[in-house]
Structure 1
Amino acid sequence: MLNPEILKELTTLKMPYGKYKGVLICNLPEPYLVWYHSKGFPQGKLGMLLHTIYEIKLNGLEYLLDPLKKGKF
């Protein structure tokens, strides 16, 4: 089961670098996440968050983040 704090971070933290710098992690486009999946996610917390959002999008579970995006947490 996912930690609610991790889900909250997906909707509040922004990509710190690269083409999508400043974009909320939950709003990163799927092709970008697929690219990271094939290349390898970075180490540490950012890598864990990118892998988590990749799995959420891969499995069609984005709706789980809707209440968090609306600030209802």
Structure 2
Amino acid sequence: MSEELKPDPEIFRKLMTATMPFGKYAGRRLVDLPEPYVVWFKQKGFPAGELGMLLETVYAVKANGLEYLFRPGASRP
């Protein structure tokens, strides 16, 4: 029997406020990064550590059309 995947509320909270620390989009919330930029990271490799994990999560959010979860009033875990 497979385990049910559940979102991690702590990661969700971090994604709501985490900002890009460098580059052209420095200071912009990770969830607000342009999709082509996040796809570029996917192709080139995400950075190590927490930033890489958060960017990879943003990629999954955008790839699955879940950006609405980060809009005001959206249902959250």
- 1:62–1:21 Cα change, 3 Å: same
Listed as ranges, the gaps of 5+ residues in structure 1 are none
CA contact (8 A) 1:14 1:24 kept: yes
- 1:67–1:5 Cα change, 3 Å: farther
Distance 1:33 1:9 in 2: 17
Whose Rg is larger? 2
CA contact (8 A) 1:11 1:68 kept: no
Q: Which residue of 2 aligns with 1:5?
A: 10
Q: What is the TM-score with the length of structure 1 in the denominator?
A: 0.86
Q: Which residue of 2 aligns with 1:24?
A: 29
How far does residue 48 in structure 1 lie from its aligned partner after superposition? 0.3
Cα deviation code 1:12-46 (max 9, x no counterpart) = 01100111100001100000000000000001100
Q: Which residue of 1 aligns with 2:62?
A: 57
Q: What is the TM-score with the length of structure 2 in the denominator?
A: 0.82
What is the RMSD computed on CA atoms of the aligned residues? Answer: 2.1
| Structure 1 position 44 matched with structure 2 position 49 | yes
Q: Which residue of 1 aligns with 2:38?
A: 33
- 1:46–1:16 Cα change, 3 Å: same
Q: How many residues in Structure 1 have an aligned counterpart in Structure 2?
A: 71
Distance 2:45 2:73 in 1: 27
